A and B are shown apart, each in its own frame.
Chain A
Amino acid sequence: MSDVLLKLDTVSKVFGGIRALSDVSLAVPQNRIVGVIGPNGAGKTTLFNVITGAYRASDGDVVFDGKTVTQWPSHRIVRAGVARTFQNIRLFGGMTVWEHLLVAQPHQGNMLRRVLPSRWADPKAWARAEEALEIFGLHNYRDSIARTLSYGLQRKVEMARAMTAGPKLLMLDEPVAGMNHDEAEELRLLLLRLQSRGLSILLIEHDMAFVMNLCHQLYVLDFGALIAEGTPAEIRTNPVVLDAYLGSETAC
């Protein structure tokens, strides 16, 4: 397929003597929702950190939108079109929801727009933040300090902040952790709506029902290596995956 948005080519990450990722290759096609699953400690978050430049790959290449971004600093990768959320929510402690939606927007190197009061210097940014409030249903919490909100709402603020950066690829690290069933279903529909507008999504999730009902393609990580890939239906019946999750019958 030529319309691959994100491609990892035999990426490894070594911490001291520990191989957190070994030779991981995966692809996220344009306009698709791809999931990464695996037991705790399999290297999923490390994978996210390598893609977004928080860690540098020890080996292999990360190619995004035709550009090799392996050595880029995080902020450049974000500006190229990759935005993410965090497993343990990372909001800015002193900021309101509204401020979160302004701060991550690109300013296209326009210094005046950046240093003048944004209310009148950058009406486009205001409009985009308004739109994000709308999409994520955060209108009632506009002027609340984001950290004081409920867990589910904080996750939404994080996603909304990521979306205001104008990404082509949205990366979500356990987006439904701490959400109840209704909230998770609401989020699933929201992500499908974003995808229908042309967004690609790569997500890590432990909630199997959520993943199986949402993703087009799944990758399974175990001990830092890919052990399977395929559609949700294929993964569900894959013996290697069942083995990793449940332990094999012959074990012990």
Chain B
Amino acid sequence: MMSTYYAGLFADVGILLLGALSVYIILATGQLSLGNAGFMGIGAYLASYLTVELHWPVTAALLVSAVAAAAIGIVVGFPALRLKGIYLAMATLGFGEMVRSFFLVFEPMGGSGGYRGMPHITLGYIWLWAGGILLLVLVLERSRLWLEMRAVHDDETAAGLVGLNTTAVKIGAFGFGAAVAAICGGLFAHHYVYIEPSNFGFERSIDFVLAVILGGSTVGAGAVIGALLLVLLPEWLRFLVDWRLAAFGGLLILVLLTRRQGILDRTLIARLTFQRRPA
């Protein structure tokens, strides 16, 4: 039996993994979203409403939240088509803050006082979702659709001129990423059984992006490494007491200086699995 301390940490890892994957999926098409905590918040509040007020089973509530967030993601994806780089990042950041402020004043769901009463879920249930979606992404990475996403990432104009519908690819990625973020939020809500708007602020979006960049932004498996490190490292550095977060920041900078693509990339995976692969 795992200690409750580690059980709590691994629940956080699973939830962060989903958040990181939601960023990774959108980033695979070359779009940086700093607003995924917004989609997470939508998923958390909607799933909680469905289980608490309408007494739905958690799984059904998560699925419906995912579909609803995907629809919102697609709506957000359209204006995002016109923006690139830091401009897109700023716009998505604005979206995330908009969602947070909305729930802050949305009294039917508790407003700033938060919302409670959700049924508690187990660590196993969290990892059933996290593992399932990770597997889905890893399988998808071997598909033609993922190649299309990478093509849009590398050179959008050329992608269009070799026959790819770049608009559909970019918007689809936003919808898919939003759905994953919503499931992340639904699991968060039913793990902590209490949510408040500040759970879904800017720092949360940054955590997602950080996990992806640290773990490896060119492979889905990187999100696992990133989520593990982001949750466990600050714990392991506890012996440094007050210097803990500073040391963590230092380590982060060190990794990015030595490996810009993050810890995991295709070359490293190939070496670890003994495949022949490009140099």
Contacts and interface: CB of A to CB of B under 8 A. Distances in A.
A105 B162 CA distance: 9
Contacts of A235: none
Given A74-B161, A75-B166, A161-B162, A119 B142 contact: yes
A84 interface: yes
B81 to A, nearest CB: 13
A104 B276 CA distance: 24
Contact of B143 (A52, A91, A104, A117): A117
A107 B147 CA distance: 13
B139 A106 contact: no
Contacts of B158: 86, 90-92
Interface residues of B, number: 28
B148 interface: yes
In this complex, the interface size class of chain A, counting residues with CB under 8 Å from chain B, is 35 or more
Contact of B157 (A54, A73, A116): A54
Interface stretch (A12-20, A95-103, A240-248): A95-103
Contacts of B151: 92, 95, 103
Contacts of A165: 162-163
Given A99-B147, A143-B276, A143-B277, A90 B163 contact: no
Contact of B278 (A73, A104, A144): A144
Contacts of A78: 161-163
A145 B278 contact: yes
B140 A104 contact: no
Interface in B158-199: 158-166
Secondary structure of the B side of the interface? helix
Contact of A92 (B144, B154, B163, B278): B154
A104 B163 CA distance: 6
Interface string B185-228: 00000000000000000000000000000000010000000000
Contact of B163 (A106, A113, A121, A143): A106
Given A79-B163, A104-B164, A95 B143 contact: no
Contacts of A115: 140, 143-145
Shortest beta-carbon contacts, A-B, top 9? A78-B163, A117-B142, A92-B154, A90-B158, A104-B162, A103-B147, A74-B160, A93-B154, A75-B165
Interface of B: 139-140, 142-145, 147-148, 150-151, 153-155, 157-166, 218, 276-279
23 contacts: A54-B157, A74-B160, A75-B160, A83-B162, A83-B163, A90-B155, A91-B155, A92-B159, A95-B147, A103-B150, A104-B162, A104-B163, A106-B163, A114-B144, A117-B139, A118-B142, A118-B143, A121-B143, A122-B144, A125-B144, A143-B277, A143-B278, A165-B163
Given A53-B161, A54-B157, A115-B140, 15 more contacts: A75-B165, A91-B155, A94-B154, A95-B147, A95-B151, A102-B147, A103-B150, A106-B163, A118-B144, A122-B144, A143-B276, A145-B279, A162-B162, A165-B162, A165-B163
